[in-house]
Structure 1
């Protein structure tokens, strides 16, 4: 009988060629089945040979679904930048702030920090829930549930009539953010060919920029509104995202890697075809390649759990993931998150600060697009190290500009340097971090690893947000551009850690990555170590 056997009821689906029956070999038999192993070799070799443009032409739907999943992060971006702009809105300051001058008001540092940190606290809970839920339900249904929750929690923020209630609303909105950021890089990396991993996972950073552009435009348009709609209308704009994304994610294919891990090979094959693999033979080769990798990892450990992240070579991979996520908070990126307020503290007028913020957001988007080319030409390690080194230099110059006698020229110099720092981050460290994160973990532990890595991001970000607010606020340390010295120091630590511990995983299949980590190859030798296509360990 031809067709693919459904493991749930024993029936056969479809009227395929007899060749398809090889796809039904149990994972435990893949490594000893010569035909399937040859298919796996051919599938992996074909991925290595496929260029970026060829892969994009053959798999446009894979790119589309990867971008759709990554676009869910626009909601966290929108809210993060919105909070950063609220504290700079004159009407918001007047209603909720304390008077600091004849006609000037400021949101107290503790409430600034609370508004910024509450969403991150909620997201911290969300990322830990995301791993087990995703392992159980899959990327699609987990994300759909999070989008439904997002729609509901926006109501609390929109109708909030105090800083305390707004803070609670942000905390509850943060829970679905955790699901989005944990699932997006993992899903995107699993559904696209090897050569497209860098560009597609980098669209996460682009979603951040799109969110900041919408916020910058909305707050620029409403910053002169002399009533509560100056901030309620921007809050209401959050509802434009969840429902359309929910419909799209419902229509999207599930990750074939996740389906194979769950033993649903018939569905995995259909998913591979939906993602762009029209050639029947090539589809089966891709399936065999995935089965091979899943079986190799299954022999290393059983059902995935959080403790596995701390065992053996997975501990090293978890540490790299956590380092990459946490380092996003230490290279001056928090200046971008509070750009409008930073510009005002640097001596720029309120109107011009909002205009500069919009320019800054648009330039970040341009940098994100440029990062696709960088990831195609250069290695992940190279981009991260050079991007971080560039920002360290710019941060030191920012500190120097803020330390000399202040004038209109130094004010604008600080603003321009703030924009340049954001631009460099958006084109290098930001997007490439997501690529590194999605490639470093094993397939078996990917959902859990990306979740724990993002938790490390929040653990680092929550105190850093307080520090950033304290450094910039007039009721705090009022450092303005002198904060560049602090961020340059923390960025130096990230650079040193990356130099010694960050491996180069460009052009590496998941099987090759497993082997390199299991052999405990030095990070600086990953690029030059040769792994034969026939090696399993």
Structure 2
């Protein structure tokens, strides 16, 4: 590859000229084809990304499983046909368990490593899934779901950090977006599992789906030993040799002298040193101590609530209630539509995730908001007509507009990747914990309020979400900034002003000995323009 400037204008990534331009499935730097790797090494290299990503599947599985179980007569009989507050607690208890783990999760991720945190959380979820499957009472079922949520926090807090910090630079946005997209993979498995077990005339109709919730965690516990640790975490702990080897292995086929690896390694060191120099205190107060961090937290807090208060909570946990309200009462039909909707949502989310680097984050957010408003309005109108006239066509139109609505739910692939991107390393784990904490709060509110409000207000409850979606559009237009084509360090520094971005980039370029600093390039470009004008 030809030489080029380390810093280019318009904020483009500092090492664009060092990247392999081929897409991820053809990229020779990550496909391990240029060295004589053993079969186990090649297998490991191809498996590690899915292993880091599947943590999100556990959470997606839960939402769809609880939706499906509510359509199973066997489950309703076992737990005395829960409704209202009791049903809300059964759905919300997993997120209550997650809330209780948030004070501890960032310290484990930062102190003991991303891998250990994933292993701990996955192990706890396996044990909790066994208890959930063997439940003999509603109290036992609730307790098991609490433990699943508690363990999920540790794994889900560390997994996206590990994905982001290990991914090849030009694949980072897509890889991290795929993390939350795999929520739908778990949702699909749960939807079709409950559909398949519907005909079982015993408690195994709901015990089988309960048992399968632990499958992603089992896979992670078995294979986590082959997953690399975060180079950024290793550097922060003084283990620079190991960090360099991991960067070389996964980004340059083992070549530690590769210019890209040298640049990444030096930039990581410079960024961590810079952040420590500017913010010696990386405690919780550092999240709001500087103007840049306050900008980050404003966006992160908003995205946490937007991701669950856009109307998708009705589809995720209480779709069967919506079906019943519009006259679709057959359990088989409810389960079938639930399964098909989840497959459709998964395909759409994958498409949005792969578009994040091509289209950009800001355009996707704005397009998502506009599309949601349009089709949620259509749902509201059709729902009101169905409620007032009993029109079958209007009821079917509710399902159609609901399907179209999910096409524009770009928050699913973007909320995690965007949150992780804009946080600098010292507060990345803590900031991501705040995001997850608030996301769980919004989920708990949804899970308690939605069934009660939907029963009391019927179609008018849809108007509440419509007004909120309009607020989301205004907020995203004002505050969401584009992060496409920036390195992690550049993205984090841009919130602290041009000086922070310039200092990190100049330090990395000088330490790596690659090319020139931003000032030198700007001076050179000014001189060239002057010569052309002359």
The answer for the alignment partner of 2:359 in structure 1 is 378
The answer for the alignment partner of 1:291 in structure 2 is 269
Once the two structures are superposed, the pairs formed by residues 32-431 of structure 1 within 5 Å of their partners are 45-47=14-16, 50=19, 53-54=22-23, 57=27, 58-60=29-31, 64-98=47-81, 107-278=82-253, 279-282=255-258, 283-302=261-280, 304-312=282-290, 313-338=292-317, 339-348=319-328, 349-404=330-385, 405-425=389-409, 428-431=410-413
- Once the two structures are superposed, residues 426-479 of structure 1 have per-residue CA deviations (whole angstroms, 9 ceiling, x without a partner) of xx221011221110111121111111111111122211221222234xxx3262
The 8 Å contact of residues 70 and 320 in structure 2, kept in 1 or not, is answered as: no
Within the candidate set 465, 469, 474, 2:447 is matched to 465
Is residue 519 from structure 1 mapped to residue 497 from structure 2 by the alignment? yes
Closer, same or farther: CA 59–112 of 1 in aligned 2, 3 Å = same
1:192 Cα offset (Å)? 1.4
1:355, 1:449 → 2: CA distance? Answer: 39
The 8 Å contact of residues 99 and 150 in structure 2, kept in 1 or not, is answered as: yes
SS at match of 1:289: helix
The 8 Å contact of residues 153 and 173 in structure 1, kept in 2 or not, is answered as: yes
1:296, 1:388 → 2: CA distance? Answer: 36
1:315 Cα offset (Å)? 2.3
- Once the two structures are superposed, residues 208-247 of structure 1 have per-residue CA deviations (whole angstroms, 9 ceiling, x without a partner) of 1111111111111122333211111111112322222112
2:20, 2:64 → 1: CA distance? Answer: 36
2:6, 2:133 → 1: CA distance? Answer: 52
SS at match of 2:214: helix
1:492 Cα offset (Å)? 1.7
Once the two structures are superposed, the pairs formed by residues 414-453 of structure 1 within 5 Å of their partners are 414-425=398-409, 428-453=410-435
The 8 Å contact of residues 244 and 256 in structure 2, kept in 1 or not, is answered as: no
Closer, same or farther: CA 173–52 of 1 in aligned 2, 3 Å = farther
Q: Over aligned residues, Cα RMSD in angstroms?
A: 2.6
Closer, same or farther: CA 90–418 of 1 in aligned 2, 3 Å = farther
1:96, 1:286 → 2: CA distance? Answer: 55
Q: Matched residue pairs, number?
A: 477
- After TM superposition, the score normalised by the length of structure 2 is 0.83
- After TM superposition, the score normalised by the length of structure 1 is 0.83
Flag structure 2 segments of 5+ consecutive residues without an equivalent.
32-43, 510-516, 520-534
- Once the two structures are superposed, residues 266-305 of structure 1 have per-residue CA deviations (whole angstroms, 9 ceiling, x without a partner) of 1101111232322332233321121111111121122532
Flag structure 1 segments of 5+ consecutive residues without an equivalent.
1-37, 99-106
Closer, same or farther: CA 514–233 of 1 in aligned 2, 3 Å = closer
